[in-house]
Structure 1
Amino acid sequence: MQTIKGPSLHLAQYSDDAFPFNSLAAVAAWAQENGFRALQIPAWDRRFIDINLAAESQSYCDEIRQMLARHQLQISELTSHIFGQLMAVHPAYDALCDSFAPPHLQGNPIARQQWAAGQMLAAVKASARFGLTELGTFSGSLAWPYIFPFPQRPAGLVETAFDELAHRWLPILDACDAHNVNLCFEIHPGEDLHDGISFEMFLQRTGHHPRCRMLFDPSHFVLQQLDYLAFLQIYEPYIRMFHVKDAEFTPTGRQGMYGGYQSWADRAGRFRSTGDGQVDFKRIFSLLTQQGYQGWATLEWECCLKNKLDGAREGAAFIREHIINVADTVFDDFAAAPLAADELRALMGIAL
């Protein structure tokens, strides 16, 4: 068993042009005041990090670590979701995803994807310079627009999409292997890797690559009505990152998991601030502890009702309360009676 590390805070939802969310130093001081022990840094956000400089400069990375240490913080992981999203974009989403890329690449999907691959490699190298072993990301999606099979999907469409997805990601996975970094795909609706079966399809096509791993976020399983506790038990060897994010699903006679095109506040399935939803975090923390999960419990705050300042403060406390400090003895050791081998055999009536 292993005591889970935490709380860490994913900064993506806290990035802002306003103080204290406009620089890593300022947000570090704020995070320390709110009880966090680590920060999960989005590699695409230049308010917090220059990922290309981090990939090449050890002194730059050391300066960041030293600054965070002054606030009693460390980096739990880097995340690269925006770069990962651009690794595979269906044409239906080109216009929406263009804003993730530099202006000179917008309208050029091939150049955009090549840039994203380069940024992924930079994130891998930067992770290694920071001494990190896990890197979070999205898979991107080529097949997602065909998630509901009507009109019927042409034979071979899904297989072709996953073949291409694996082809694009294999060089990144190989780079991860060279730098001792696990690439943790967040299992997330909207991505081609959105449940266990789709992950297995991808894993098979990568030759069961040893660096192909998962970021577990139970909120996304609530919204698609997937058994997240069973998922933890099935995929335990692959789970290397953990987002503590809550959600609720309250279907009605008028809408279900698809949400009727409503805003987040009006959907049957919606994200909630940690502790305000339906996720059974007590069971999740128990399972991860029993399984020996060695990573961080990282707050990812998303809520359509509560403000993010309260969400952060309450979320840090919530994680601290749920972390189980593992026992170093068995509770009934006091009643143990050590016996020699011959005494054990005699106890069961086995002839010597």
Structure 2
Amino acid sequence: MSRPVTLFTGQWADMGIDELARKAAKWGYDGLELACWGDHCDPDRGAQDAAYARGRHELLAKHGLKCFAISNHLAGQLVCDPNDDARTDAFAPEDCAGDAEKKREWAIETTKNAARTAKNMGLSVVNGFTGSPVWHMLYSFPPLPPSAIDDGFGRFAELWNPILDVFDECGVKFALEVHPTEIAFDLYTAKRALEALNHREAFGFNFDPSHLEWQGMDPVKFIEAFPDRIYHVHMKDCATTLDGVSGILASHLDFGDPRRGWDFRSVGRGDVDFEAIIRALNAIGYDGPLSVEWEDAAMDREHGAEEACQYVKNIDFPKSGRAFDAAFGD
């Protein structure tokens, strides 16, 4: 049986959920991965109002769609982010603006509520970000003592362990999308994040190959390194376009600028080897959704979302239950 193909709604939060569900069904999706912003899913309300939480399923069911996970990226970012500039003000309520710790307090409670909402929806996974106390120290100049990074991972554990206690109480897992600006942005930092949390089961990963690909890694190696921690999968593509002038750090150029050294692409139109990823997911027994996170600044998003759905359905295939040459043995 093929895995369900869903659409992550984060890039569609400007569109009402009923309208988006209608379009997604027409495009061929099996479900939506609901973002916890816009009118798609309110984690604070869903934590307190079981009828609202169930109603998310009922709304999608009208269009023949299901929900397998919700995503709490924006609030999660503020848990560990320094929160010391205006960029993060947009992620939190207006009365938190300019107050780093007020944003953090709101983010922690909202992330806990995402777990409670997932429980009320009968879901087992919440995707999201963690933020990072040390991302701004990525390039070690001024010189940085190793203890500063150790302290950063300790701070991550200090902030996230109480959140994960609520996830455990709810029987829900948190799946970090390994991503620049998060505590884990590659394979080594992912290992370190798990170690900081003593490998507690509530914490795993939302595998997104695009963020690994443009950094120069083989995304399949990530699946092989964490076979029991792939709790959800994003299908997103990217392409590196280094030409001897552009750089991998993207030169402070906006997405979509042709001068960038890399950019996101519609699924199947970039550098990611999705067939190798499907084979690796089959090898670890992953049978959850393949969720399209559609981002391509040079393509109409509705055209891209429909095309991406069909691409993912075509590239997916179930694992064989027998060796192809078994028939020769009898």
What TM-score bracket applies, with the shorter chain setting the length?
Answer: over 0.9
- SS of residue paired to 1:183: strand
1:1-352 to structure 2, matched below 5 A, reads 3-16=1-14, 21-22=15-16, 24-45=17-38, 47-90=39-82, 93-264=84-255, 265=257, 266-337=259-330
Deviation at 1:4, TM superposition (A): 4.9
Shift of 1:250: 2.2
| TM-aligned CA deviation for residue 242 of structure 1 | 0.7
Structure 1 counterpart SS, 2:69: strand
Which residue is 1:343 aligned to? none
Amino acid at match of 2:252: Y
User: How far off is 1:304 after superposition?
Assistant: 2.0
User: Per chain length, whose mean CA-contact separation is higher, i.e. which structure has more relative contact order (CA < 8 Å, sep 6+)?
Assistant: 1
The CA distance in 2 between the partners of 1:313 and 1:35, in whole Å, is 7
SS in 2 for 1:61: helix
Show CA shifts across 1:247-266 (max 9, x none): 01121222221122222222
Q: Provide the C-alpha distance between the structure 1 equivalents of 2:37 and 2:18, rounded to a whole number of angstroms.
A: 17
RMSD: 1.5
1:329 offset after TM fit, Å?
A: 4.3
Letter in 1 for 2:305: A
Q: If the length of structure 2 is used for normalisation, what is the TM-score?
A: 0.95
Question: What letter matches 2:24 in structure 1?
Answer: A
**C-alpha separation in 2, matches of 1:218 and 1:4:** 20
Q: Name the CA distance, whole Å, in 2 between partners of 1:178 and 1:336.
A: 51
Post-superposition CA distance 1:283-339 (Å, at most 9, x none):
1111102221021100001112111011110011011101103444443343334xx
Confirm or deny: 8 A CA contact 1:84 1:139 kept in the other structure.
yes
Take 1:204 and 1:330, find their aligned partners in 2: how far apart are those partners?
38
Asked if structure 2 preserves the Cα contact closer than 8 Å seen for 1:4 and 1:297, the reply is: no
Q: CA deviation at 1:194?
A: 0.5
The secondary structure found in structure 2 opposite 1:324 is coil
Structure 2 CA distance, aligned partners of 1:272 and 1:108?
36
> Moved runs in structure 1, 4+ residues, more than 4 A?
none
Is the 8 Å Cα contact of residues 82 and 100 (structure 2) preserved in structure 1?
no
Paired residue type of 1:131? G
CA-to-partner distance for each residue in 1:24-47, whole Å, 9 max, x for gaps? 2221111110100010011132x1
Q: CA deviation at 1:209?
A: 1.0
Q: Secondary structure at the match of 2:7?
A: strand
Q: For structure 1, which runs of at least 5 residues remain unmatched after alignment?
A: 338-352
TM-score by length of 1: 0.89
Answer yes or no: is the 8 Å Cα contact 2:13–2:37 preserved in 1.
no
Aligned partners of 2:164, 2:2: CA distance in 1, in Å? Answer: 26
> For 1:235 and 1:4, how far apart are their aligned partners in 2?
22
Equivalents in 2 of 1:64, 1:238: separation in Å? Answer: 27
Paired residue secondary structure (2:5) = strand
In the TM superposition, residue 154 of structure 1 has moved relative to its aligned partner by 2.9
Instruction: Report if aligned partners of 2:54, 2:121 keep a CA contact under 8 Å in 1.
Output: yes
Offset at 1:168?
A: 0.3
Query: 1:155 Cα shift?
Result: 4.0
Kept after mapping to 2: 8 A contact 1:223/1:248: yes
| Alpha-carbon distance between aligned partners in 1 of 2:79 and 2:89, rounded to the nearest angstrom | 12
Q: Deviations over 1:79-109 (max 9, x none)?
A: 0000110101225x53211121111111111
SS of equivalent to 2:41: coil
Q: Which amino acid in structure 2 is aligned with residue 207 of structure 1?
A: N
Render the CA deviation track for 1:53-100: whole Å, top value 9, x for unaligned: 211222222222122122111112100000110101225x53211121
The CA deviation string for residues 257-276 of structure 1, in whole angstroms up to 9 with x for no partner, is 11222222221111011111
Question: Quick one: distance in 2 between partners of 1:302 and 1:33?
Answer: 19
Aligned residues: 328
- Gap regions ≥5 residues in structure 2: none
